[in-house]
Amino acid sequence: MSKRFEGKVALVTGASKGIGAEIARRLAAEGAAVAVNYSSSKAGADKVVAEIVAKGGKAVAVHGNLTAAKDVQSVVADTVKALGPIDVLVNNAGVYEFAPLDGITAEHFHKQFDLNVLGLLLVSQEAARHFNPNGGSIVNISSGVSTIAPPNASVYTATKASVDAITISLSKELAPRKIRVNAVNPGMIATEGVVTAGLHEGDMRTWIESVTPLARIGTVEEIAAAVAFFASSEASYITGETLHVTGGFR
């Protein structure tokens, strides 16, 4: 694999499993030193780090709950201390819960907004203070739901629509510092979380495959490839974009 990120430092949030873990592995395979952030699964993060190191890469696990400002500061500080100034930030950490309008509570709202939106902003804020002076790239993991907007998902959809808007706003704000900001919006991806939720088989998957032009769900590798492109110098004139990696489902 090409070494587009040789000498670069990447922080990937929520990288102990699923899409985040694959992004960390992909950036490391292309030469980046990667900070693998996790909130609860130390074992998962350590496993990702071990896989990267076993292949000759460099990685460290950094703990932090991104809804807590003090944790956000330590995540970035630990990354910089271990690896150096940040070149790439991938805001992958997020949660999703579905509920009909009648089932929405303040807890349901804040659980998702505090991580998916506020957490993303806090990490971006702190990381930007410790970016390489030459600039770099922030890639936000949004979701196809931000525009598909399925029923019973108004809060989750709202968090991801917010991520899309933040991506555009920050791309303009950070451009003078040569920090590009883009978003990758996955469709349904076969991850541990999807399997745990029982969504990898049954009505939800059948429905998604039936309305997706490419007639299948996606893989973590397909998301990681898009993230690696945005993070690389090959996307040097691209900022403020949202790329739907959804098999054509819009």
- Tokens of residue 162, six digits: 């917010």
At residue 215, the pLDDT reads 96
User: Taking the domain 9-241, which CATH number applies?
Assistant: 3.40.50.720
pLDDT average per 10 residues of sequence, the chain (250 residues): 94 98 98 98 98 98 97 98 98 96 98 98 98 98 96 97 98 98 96 71 86 96 98 98 97
pLDDT of 232 reads 98
pLDDT of 195 reads 72
**pTM of the model as a whole:** 0.97
- Alpha carbon 22 to its chain centroid, in Å, reads 10
Res 200: pLDDT: 64
Full DSSP string of the chain: ---TTTT-EEEESS-SSHHHHHHHHHHHHTT-EEEEEESS-HHHHHHHHHHHHHTT-EEEEEE--TTSHHHHHHHHHHHHHHH-SBSEEEE---------GGG--HHHHHHHHIIIIIIHHHHHHHHHTTB-TT-EEEEEE--THHHH--TT-HHHHHHHHHHHHHHHHHHHHHGGGTEEEEEEEE-SB--HHHHHTTTTSSHHHHHHHHHSTT-S-B-HHHHHHHHHHHHSGGGTT--S-EEEESTT--
pLDDT at 190: 87
Report the catalytic residues: 156
What pLDDT score does 70 carry? Answer: 97
Would you state the pLDDT for residue 203?
85
How far apart, in whole angstroms, are the C-alpha atoms of residue 142 and residue 223?
A: 11
Res 191: pLDDT: 86
Q: What is the pLDDT, as a whole number, of residue 135? A: 98
Residue ranges of domains in the chain: 9-241
